[in-house]
Amino acid sequence: MSRDAVNDLIDQYQRSFKMLYMEIKRFDDQEWLKGLDFFQVPVKIAMHIVDCLDYYFSGKDRDHYKWGYRFGGGYWELPDERLPDQENLLVYTKEIENRVITELSSFFDLSSIKC
């Protein structure tokens, strides 16, 4: 069975995760918690991205997924002193990347199915 499309999709996700890792590491401790408004803060944007990926690849529906569970709450409810540092968010991101790649690796191209 063909896996060209699946392999391309995996490659795109891996490239996107690589960009996310680079951006998370780009900020110093002070910049990590500062932004233009409530949401436009590096830690909050990164948490949002990873939490969404966690949800979409969790296998749970919206009634059973607990948003922000990893850090004891979502970015919108945690005070600055409880937001994760870069290292903790990188660990979480790597776990989600592994789950995403594992799930995508189980797929095959639809065009390879004979009807």
Domain boundaries, the chain: 4-105
Question: Which DSSP state fits 39?
Answer: S
State the Rg of the chain over Cα.
17
d(CA 52, CA 41): 17
Q: Could you tell me if 76 and 51 are in contact, meaning their C-beta atoms sit under 8 angstroms apart? A: no
Which amino acid is located at 68 in the chain?
Answer: G
The pTM for the full model equals: 0.91
**pLDDT tens, per residue, the chain with 115 residues:** 689 999 999 999 999 999 999 999 999 999 999 999 999 999 999 999 999 999 999 999 999 999 999 999 999 999 999 999 999 999 999 999 999 999 999 998 876 556 5
